[in-house]
Structure 1
């Protein structure tokens, strides 16, 4: 007599307790990479624009004869920070995620002021740090949307 177990059509495990297949994990990592690349490209072009119109500049940067923007920030710090943000945000509910976006956007103001004191960044006197708050808030929302889109579509 052969003893076989029937597979249940409905699992008692919640969706967070179910294991992801290899392809689902691969899709998720591809979405992280796409979002990080997107953030790097958008960050670079926004920096080029704002440096170009004189709203800020980077006195300390790699290869100053070649680049007018801080490529260490746009090619390393920003994408790594975005991946960290997405990793944490992906494990949060809607309201805590919104609070995190507001907290990070607020923290950017203090980070910019510290970068100015360290001589890494100089803003034009007409610059208002509220621009950074709203800019990063919009940036994080767009990056989150890109991540969610590609996490599902790939």
Structure 2
């Protein structure tokens, strides 16, 4: 039962962190979401923070808990690489826009740190 609670708590935690980071960076005009649900209400893409990120976190935890520590680190690096590459595709689709000051390496390292924090929170909560 504690494993289930740790999963749920970590998913909620990742959604909160993702939401607040998006609010911070959108507020600083580092990036924006031109195509988003409820654009008159939210400046961020709530579909990402309330749907996609929780699903992604669930998959990450499910896979990461089956890996060795070294494999988990490689997995986190791979996630960072994939997300930084996928941002370019998202920009081409008009889902995401970055300012001139943004570098995709921010996402690479940012998501690696984010996933490490998520993993540590999950392990702590267990």
TM-score (norm 1): 0.81
Paired positions, count:
126
TM-align CA RMSD: 0.5
Where does structure 1 differ by over 4 angstroms across 4 or more consecutive aligned residues?
none
Judging by fraction of residues, say which structure has more helix.
2
- Does 1:59 pair with 2:34? yes
Q: Secondary structure at the match of 1:91?
A: coil
How does 1:10-21 map onto structure 2 within 5 Å?
none
- Residue 126 (structure 1) aligned to one of 101, 108, 112: 101
Distance 2:52 2:112 in 1: 17
- Residue 69 (structure 1) aligned to one of 30, 40, 44: 44
Distance 1:97 1:142 in 2: 13
- Does 1:80 pair with 2:55? yes
1:14-69 residue CA offsets vs partner (Å, 9 max, x unmatched): xxxxxxxxxxxx11011011111000000000000000010000000000000000
Structure 2 runs not aligned, ≥5 long: none
Distance 2:21 2:10 in 1: 16
Distance 2:56 2:35 in 1: 20
Q: Which has the larger radius of gyration?
A: 1
**Aligned-pair CA distance for 1:125:** 1.1
How does 1:133-152 map onto structure 2 within 5 Å?
133-151=108-126
Residue of structure 2 equivalent to 1:117: 92
Residue of structure 2 equivalent to 1:21: none
Residue of structure 2 equivalent to 1:31: 6
Structure 1 runs not aligned, ≥5 long: 1-25
Distance 2:117 2:101 in 1: 26
